[in-house]
Structure 1
Amino acid sequence: MNEMGLRVVTGIALILVALGAAVIGGYAFAILAAAAATAVFYEWTRLAKGWGLHWQVLGFVYALLSALALLWIRDRAEDGLALLLWVFLVTWATDIGAYFAGRAIGGPKLAPTISPNKTWAGLYGGVAAASLFGGAWVLANGMHLVLILLAPLFAVAAQGGDLFESWMKRRASVKDSGNLLPGHGGIFDRLDGLLPVAILTAIAVLAGAA
């Protein structure tokens, strides 16, 4: 199987696992969130080795807050499952839209010194995809309409999380955060966009904006 095929198969498997645990909820989703946060923190510590204790503390807090945000959204927020799936959908749509728009259109680089493959077209494509699919999900499930406005903003945050992890990898002089996922690298590589979206969604709910 070529690299693209391996990426697709692994990606589909990850989506199915995430969706299955989300629908089941309870311990199943808690275990998945805890395992993902632990893996992210472990890979973070490897990337930030020698950068100082404050980087290790930051990684621990970032991974912990992300996991707690996902768990709280699923179990505590009104219409928790629908909102959690919105978080997934916005993040995944951003990644997919950015990938295909970037490849199809190309053009000026978004942050060439951090991630040479990312383009402004990819950013716009990711925002457009997240707005379209996130908005459709909100309307289909009768959710708070402010989420339609938040979708493009959180798409930018997702790509910001991606760029931040790319910066960490460049500083650490590594290609991937790990090698656990065939064709994808590490867990942090796959969740870099989800982490900020989860935290921001939880904040929006707590603030009464969603």
Structure 2
Amino acid sequence: MTDGGTPRAPAPMRDLGQRIASAAALAFVVLAALWVGGLTFATMVGAIGVVVAWEWGRIVRQAGVDAIMIIQAIAVAAGVLLAAKGLAGLGFIAVVVAAIISALLAFGERGHMAALGALYAGLPAVALVWLNRGDAAGFLAVLFLLLTVWATDTGAYFAGRLIGGHRLMPSVSPNKTWSGLAGGIVAGGLVGLVFALARPELSARHMIIAGALLAVVSQAGDLLESALKREYGVKDASALIPGHGGFMDRIDGLAAAVIAAAIFAIAVDIQAPARALLGLN
């Protein structure tokens, strides 16, 4: 009860409501930017990448806006802009150079972790803009990635809650279960099936397998970020998103999925990455 006698929802339900509202608002902004495309989408991706660089610094270096963070922010912004202009190769190089400079500036046993911050913030951002080539295939490929990761998170959450069972990696994330992993994989495969049913030119077999594999990679990315936070004794990357923590806490799975998709696309057809991801080559 509140002080005025009005019943108050249980804390878990309030938290869930807050999480849903925040996730819906973020999804709307992301999808709207994707729909507009071009520099609008690139600007949004770059802005999130800059925030992720800042959050990584808070976790690993216990620092806010320092020289390393500024260098990484410039590299992320430059990399995304280059990718938007069709120069993704130079964009990736900018991020790698920032990683090397970060390692030199940090100097010592944590230098490699400073370098990883540049890669974690920059590579997925450049790759996402590179995949979204400004054509129909690019839009569809990025939409597929986003919806697959979001569905994976949702499927894993509800399957874990409803079914429960053995913990997946209790030393890293005590709330994740094998049933949640299975639920996420099924959800990812279903997204692929829906895309195939909606677009006859897409192979159902390819899309289902792609969705399921991306679901596995997405959940691995989630676990890696959990391991990082546990290593440094941090609960959330920041408090920027009500109910979710920081942007790193929201894009951990997407970052891993985007990198995996980019590697696959490079291996299949570097000139048409979106079509490669969708199995159209």
Computed over aligned residues only, the root mean square deviation of the Cα atoms, in angstroms, reads 1.7
Tell me, yes or no, if structure 1 residue 155 matches structure 2 residue 215: yes
Counterpart of 1:164 in structure 2 is: 224
Deviation at 1:139, TM superposition (A): 3.5
Shift of 1:201: 1.3
Q: Which of 143, 146, 150 lines up with 2:202 in the alignment?
A: 143
Partner of 2:167: 109
- Residue of 26, 30, 35 corresponding to 2:38: 26
Corresponding residue of 1:177: 237
Output one character per residue of 1:167-189: Cα deviation in whole Å (capped at 9) or x when no partner: 11111111111100011100000
Distance 1:22 1:48 in 2: 31
- The code of the aligned residue for 1:21 comes to A
CA distance change for structure 1 residues 86 and 18 in 2, over 3 Å: closer, same or farther?
same
CA–CA separation in structure 2 for the residues paired with 1:118 and 1:150: 22
> Quick check: 1:80 aligned with 2:127?
no
Query: Normalising by the residue count of structure 1, what TM-score does the alignment of the two structures yield?
Result: 0.94
> Which residue is equivalent to 1:119?
177
**Counterpart secondary structure, 1:30:** helix
The structure-2 alpha-carbon separation of the partners of 1:172 and 1:18, relative to structure 1 and needing over 3 Å to count, comes to same
Q: In structure 1, the residue corresponding to 2:236 is in which secondary structure? A: coil
Give the aligned length.
Answer: 210
SS at match of 2:255: helix
Please give the alpha-carbon distance, in whole angstroms, between the structure 2 residues aligned to 1:196 and 1:76.
22
- State the secondary structure of the residue aligned to 1:43: helix
Once residues 76 and 203 of structure 1 are traced to their aligned partners in structure 2, the CA distance between those partners, rounded to angstroms, is: 20
**Which of the numbers 53, 56, 62 marks the counterpart of 2:120?**
62
Q: Distance in 2 between matches of 1:111 and 1:96?
A: 19
CA separation in 1, counterparts of 2:154 and 2:42?
A: 26
Structure 2 residue 158 is matched with structure 1 residue 100 = yes
Q: Residue in 1 aligned with 2:96?
A: none
Q: Decide whether the 8 Å contact of 1:89 with 1:134 is kept in 2.
A: no
Separation in structure 1 between the aligned mates of residue 169 and residue 135 of structure 2, nearest angstrom: 36
* Counterpart residue number, 2:106: none
Distance 1:44 1:69 in 2: 19
Tell me by how many angstroms 1:45 deviates: 1.7
Tell me what 2:48 maps to. 36
User: Bigger shift: 39-48 or 117-126?
Assistant: 39-48
User: Looking at both structures, which has the greater relative contact order when contacts are Cα pairs under 8 Å and sequence separation is at least 6?
Assistant: 1
Structure 1 residue 144 displacement after superposition: 5.3
Q: Once the two structures are superposed, what CA deviation does each residue of 1:82-141 show, in whole Å capped at 9, x if it has no partner?
A: 010000011001100000000000000000011000000000000000101122113422
Q: CA deviation at 1:73?
A: 1.0
Tell me which of 184, 189, 197 is aligned to 2:249: 189
Query: Does the alignment pair 1:89 with 2:147?
Result: yes
Identity %: 43
Find runs of 4+ consecutive structure 1 residues off by over 4 angstroms: none
The alpha-carbon deviation at position 69 of structure 1 amounts to: 0.9
Unaligned ranges ≥5, structure 2? 1-8, 63-108, 269-275
Q: Residues 72 and 157 (structure 1 numbering): CA distance in 2 closer, same or farther, change over 3 Å?
A: same
Q: Is 2:220 the counterpart of 1:129?
A: no
Q: In the alignment, is the contact (CA less than 8 A) between 1:169 and 1:176 conserved in 2? A: yes
The structure-2 alpha-carbon separation of the partners of 1:144 and 1:44, relative to structure 1 and needing over 3 Å to count, comes to: farther
Residues 70-79 or 54-63, more deviating: 70-79
Report the alpha carbon displacement of residue 76 of structure 1 after superposing the two structures with TM.
6.0
When residues 77 and 162 of structure 1 are mapped into structure 2, their CA distance, relative to the original with a 3 A threshold, is: farther
